[in-house]
A and B are shown apart, each in its own frame.
Chain A
């Protein structure tokens, strides 16, 4: 059986990243958009850890830990803002939140 190589991980992370970008671009529900962003951040984590193993130093894993922490902080702030949005607009659909225009 063929063993796992760096390329497998890179492909996985590229697919995840594209799915994340796709989610952010197409979804209109603010919470689902946030999930897309989480996918993007975590695809970078896979990259970092795979490269860390490949390059033979710990820098990548260290950064990945920071990214996890920051992603959690970002989700906390974003969810708080979205919760507030819901209490003001009674919706989390981004298309219906459109008071600011050109």
Chain B
């Protein structure tokens, strides 16, 4: 390629990456503006953040028609990645609004400038994760997200718990990225390329001699990095500590957006590298690696460990952390199914999980800020003191269990149907998942029981209220949780259409 062609190519690529560039430019803009804002008015930096995210949403709608590989195959732009980019931007917007109502974040006139800068960086990293079609890009993107989340988790500098969770998080995190990069180096050694689609070509070539044991070890190591991002067993240990110590809006954001990004990347990695050909509604895996069984074991382990450990948690944030581990287990079933309907069910699950889990964390934040405690014992009888907050909480909990009428039921239903469509081979997987859902009902209902059926220790306790805008935001979470449960087909159809557009 001569220089002129190279420049033209780079410019075309750049033009196609508009949303990512917008977020990157916005990041620098927020950074510079924050330097000049006085401390008293620095809360206005959030306006700039919302503006950048809003613009990113608009430019995403223009990217949805594009189907291309840019920067010599580094990043894929397709309907699949655009679907996830919408999720990231929307969850960043919602988590951003949540942060404005958080007392932890706003006490002592803490500077929120850095907070929004880092959050913007995280959104950029996740957008790149969803599109990464090259091991180099995958690693850089995942590190960008990780580094940003370490900072956000330990954001409350003078808070011991936040600090401790940050240290634990960064040690687990960098350990698993160490595993991942070692795995990447082995894969590179075996296949001689970093591009996912070229890797697929090498694996399909019958003349190539590839040692299945080495390949399995390498893929397991890479899975370590990805599994850590989605908090799948055995890489889930960071999640309870990090969620409990982090500021609640950060914990909420961590539990939905990077998880979705991790799944987006995991699916693209496996689907691009280890598939032979596609059939009607399924794909034929390459024989060199039995990753379906590996993922099935991880999925069962993850959901069981998450649900069982959540049973005896006394701290609401910690309980929600284990619940999010369990949900990662369910979602993993969608990844390993090798079918369009499985992937679409996974995407649908991630999309509504965003709404209901952010909602649950949001109520937790509002109640926790007012009671000054996240321990369940201190929440007794809170339902009658704060009905406006507690009733939506019950809706979110019902949806997390999967009670019919809420979106949680629809999502689980679609996922289980997709599992059963794959034949009796997966029957036991669906069975374990259903049993797990039953177990999960115990601890979700425990919260509802404590809110409404237990008497408060102090009978003359004051009613608990929240400012009107905070309650309005609550309805932004609660209404879709119900409405999507009944009127789910547009979202599902969108997910299905996006699946068909995955490019290598």
Contacts and interface: CB of A to CB of B under 8 A. Distances in A.
Given A17-B182, A100-B165, A100-B168, A63 B188 contact: yes
Interface in A52-92: 52, 54-55, 57, 59-60, 62-63, 66-67, 70, 73-74, 77-78, 81-82, 84-85, 88-89
Interface stretch (B147-155, B255-263, B378-386): B147-155
A66 to B, nearest CB: 6
Interface residues of A, number: 45
B164 A85 contact: yes
Interface in A14-45: 17, 20, 24, 30, 33-34, 37, 40-41, 43-45
B211 to A, nearest CB: 13
A60 B188 contact: yes
Given A51-B189, A82-B167, A100 B174 contact: no
Interface string B115-153: 000000000000000000001100110010001001100
B181 interface: yes
Given A55-B189, A63-B188, A100-B164, 6 more contacts: A40-B178, A59-B194, A88-B158, A89-B163, A94-B167, A97-B167
Contact of A99 (B164, B184, B189): B164
Contacts of B157: 84
Interface of B: 135-136, 139-140, 143, 147, 150-151, 154, 157-158, 160-161, 163-168, 170-171, 174-175, 177-179, 181-182, 184-186, 188-189, 192-194, 240-241, 244-245, 309, 312-313
A47 B182 contact: yes
18 contacts: A24-B175, A40-B175, A40-B181, A44-B184, A47-B185, A47-B186, A47-B189, A51-B192, A52-B188, A54-B189, A55-B189, A55-B193, A73-B143, A74-B174, A81-B166, A85-B164, A85-B166, A100-B240
Contacts of B170: 74, 77-78, 81
Of B164, B181, B185, chain A has the most CB atoms within 10 Å of the CB of: B185
Contacts, number: 128
A60 B174 contact: no
